[in-house]
């Protein structure tokens, strides 16, 4: 399961022989919502108006919602896919790197299709191009986790709706959603660190990367062997209004999977002082 805003998706990837070509195989990508129906409760008629604008409801629905303050709107989420990618079986055997490059491109295209579908429900997905691009990377990463057998999709809840009370979160919604996204991306022990100490620590190779939950917070880099400070990196994303927890997710993915890019795009500052501590008693600190 992967979360894009309030929406939860079950990503399913199958590799099977093509029905039309005996010498070819097909990788089939499918994204199913964890809940088919999302029941949204709000304090106004914004959702009904948005459905009317998209042509999903008549204007009568808007008028009824105006007369019923705090009404509920049912949003039905469709499947995305199947999205097939056909390839020659010989390519996978003789040219695995070429095949993996093609598979990566197809997974990325499928991920953007999922986000395009999710973005048609603006009350459920944060209206930020930068965040949606980040969501697409997460969906592509989840697809490869399914391919590698590290994640398994769960069945869609067809009868039970997911309830969402938007009126209870008029302030701070983006950061609350972003914090829940951290839970879906990181390991349980890393999420515990995030909840307790407002930071994430990632070990990649011979370095530790400590990422604080602060807007434009500097990433501290430490030598994993000597525990000596190496540098502080400033990484600024294009969206200036990105919630701090979404910054943590983006920097976490870069530190874990593409640390060389982190060093390329980050502005280097003098290293922090003190000695690296892995498990502080209350909050992480430097002594």
What does the pLDDT average to over 150-155? 87
pLDDT for 46: 58
Residue 148 and residue 240 share a domain: no
Q: How far apart are CA 153 and CA 144, in angstroms?
A: 12
Residue 256 and residue 140 share a domain: no
Residue 158 and residue 20 share a domain: yes
Q: Which of 182-186, 257-261, 263-267, 276-280 has the lowest mean pLDDT?
A: 276-280
The total domain count for the chain is: 2
| Residue 282 or residue 116, greater confidence | 116
Residue 72 and residue 14 share a domain: yes
**Residue 57 pLDDT exceeds 70:** no
Instruction: Say if residues 236 and 130 touch (Cβ distance below 8 Å).
Output: no
Domain stop point among 170, 199, 232: 170
Instruction: Say if residues 41 and 72 touch (Cβ distance below 8 Å).
Output: yes
Residue 149 and residue 101 share a domain: yes
Domain stop point among 107, 138, 170: 170
pLDDT for 28: 92
**Residue 270 pLDDT exceeds 80:** yes
| Entry pTM | 0.56
Query: Is 277 part of a structural domain of the chain?
Result: no
Q: Sorting pLDDT into bands at 50, 70 and 90, what band is 220?
A: very high
Query: Is 183 part of a structural domain of the chain?
Result: yes
Q: Sorting pLDDT into bands at 50, 70 and 90, what band is 32?
A: very high
Residue 187 and residue 162 share a domain: no
pLDDT digits (tens, 9 = 90+) for 85-116: 888 877 778 888 888 888 889 999 999 999 88
Q: β-strands 7-17, 24-33: how paired?
A: antiparallel
Domain coverage including residue 37 = 2-170
Residue 238 and residue 127 share a domain: no
Q: Sorting pLDDT into bands at 50, 70 and 90, what band is 176?
A: low
CB-based contacts of 233, cutoff 8 Å, min separation 6 = 218, 219, 221, 262, 263, 266, 267, 268, 269
Residue 131 and residue 68 share a domain: yes
**Residue 31 pLDDT exceeds 50:** yes
Q: Sorting pLDDT into bands at 50, 70 and 90, what band is 169?
A: very low
Residue 158 and residue 21 share a domain: yes
Residue 210 and residue 140 share a domain: no
Query: Is 37 part of a structural domain of the chain?
Result: yes
Domain stop point among 136, 170, 204: 170
């Amino acid at each position: 399961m992967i979360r894009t805003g309030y929406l939860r998706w079950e990503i399913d990837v199958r590799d099977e022989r093509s029905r039309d070509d005996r010498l070819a195989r097909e990788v089939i990508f499918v994204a199913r919502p964890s809940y088919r129906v999302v029941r949204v409760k709000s304090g106004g008629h914004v959702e009904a108006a948005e459905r009317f604008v998209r042509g999903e409801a008549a204007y009568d629905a808007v008028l009824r919602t105006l007369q019923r303050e705090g009404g509920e709107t049912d949003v039905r989420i469709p499947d995305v896919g199947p999205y097939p990618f056909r390839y020659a079986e010989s390519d996978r055997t003789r040219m695995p790197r070429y095949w993996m490059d093609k598979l990566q491109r197809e997974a990325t295209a499928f991920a953007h299709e999922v986000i395009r579908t999710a973005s048609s429900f603006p009350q459920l997905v944060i209206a930020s191009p930068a965040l949606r691009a980040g969501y697409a990377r997460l969906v592509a990463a989840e697809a490869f986790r399914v391919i590698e057998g590290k994640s398994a999709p769960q069945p869609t809840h067809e009868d039970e709706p997911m309830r969402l009370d938007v009126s209870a979160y008029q302030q701070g919604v983006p950061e609350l959603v972003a914090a829940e996204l951290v839970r879906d991306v990181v390991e349980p022990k890393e999420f515990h660190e995030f909840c307790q100490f407002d930071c994430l620590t990632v070990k990649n190779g011979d370095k530790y990367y400590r990422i604080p939950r602060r807007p434009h917070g500097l990433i501290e880099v430490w030598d994993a062997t000597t525990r000596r400070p190496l540098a502080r990196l400033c990484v600024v994303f294009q969206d200036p209004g990105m919630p701090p927890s979404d910054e943590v997710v983006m920097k976490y993915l870069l530190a874990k999977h593409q640390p060389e890019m982190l060093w390329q795009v980050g502005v280097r500052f003098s290293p922090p002082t003190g000695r690296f501590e892995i498990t502080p008693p209350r909050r992480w600190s430097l002594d």
